[in-house]
């Protein structure tokens, strides 16, 4: 009986550890999106000018997109520390939206976009693979 309890405790610890890593990465990507939003809204010349791009938006549009996604990622990242199922589902959804937004903006800021895509991919993996059942 003690082994079953310890086995369950180990599983719960692993689940909370994976979700904590996903939460931290989602928080980091949210902060990166907020910084990117500030740069875009301020018209920072760090962005590459792409003359003919199918998914072309103004820097102000990208700034607002990243501001909203950054705030959502931070709020959901904080909620993930409570191991709530709704936060895991919302975390996957927001991470997917962040990946799509960063994919569409690769020509404007390629390296940063790829880093955030990689971080959000790890977030999705972490939130989808862990099986945490509340006691």
Q: Which residue has the higher pLDDT, 22 or 108?
A: 22
Q: Tell me the pTM.
A: 0.80
The alpha carbon of residue 115 and the mean position of all alpha carbons in its chain are separated, in whole angstroms, by: 11
Give CA–CA dist 69/106, Å, rounded: 16
78-90 pLDDT, tens digit per residue, is 999 888 889 999 9
Tens of pLDDT, residue by residue over 20-48, are 899 999 999 899 889 888 988 887 776 66
Which tokens in the block code for residue 121?
């991919």
- Among residues 57, 73, 64, the alpha carbon closest in space to that of 42 is found at 64
């Amino acid at each position: 009986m003690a082994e079953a309890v310890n086995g369950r405790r180990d599983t719960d610890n692993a689940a909370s550890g994976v979700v904590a890593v996903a939460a931290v990465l989602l928080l980091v990507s949210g902060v990166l999106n907020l910084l990117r939003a500030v740069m875009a809204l301020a018209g920072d010349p760090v962005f590459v000018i792409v003359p003919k791009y199918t998914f072309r938006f103004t820097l102000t549009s990208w700034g607002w997109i990243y501001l909203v996604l950054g705030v959502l990622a931070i709020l959901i990242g904080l909620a993930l520390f409570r191991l709530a199922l709704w936060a895991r589902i919302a975390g996957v959804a927001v991470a997917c939206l962040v990946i799509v937004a960063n994919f569409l903006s690769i020509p404007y800021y390629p390296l940063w976009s790829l880093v955030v895509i990689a971080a959000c991919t790890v977030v999705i993996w972490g939130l989808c693979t862990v099986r945490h059942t509340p006691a």
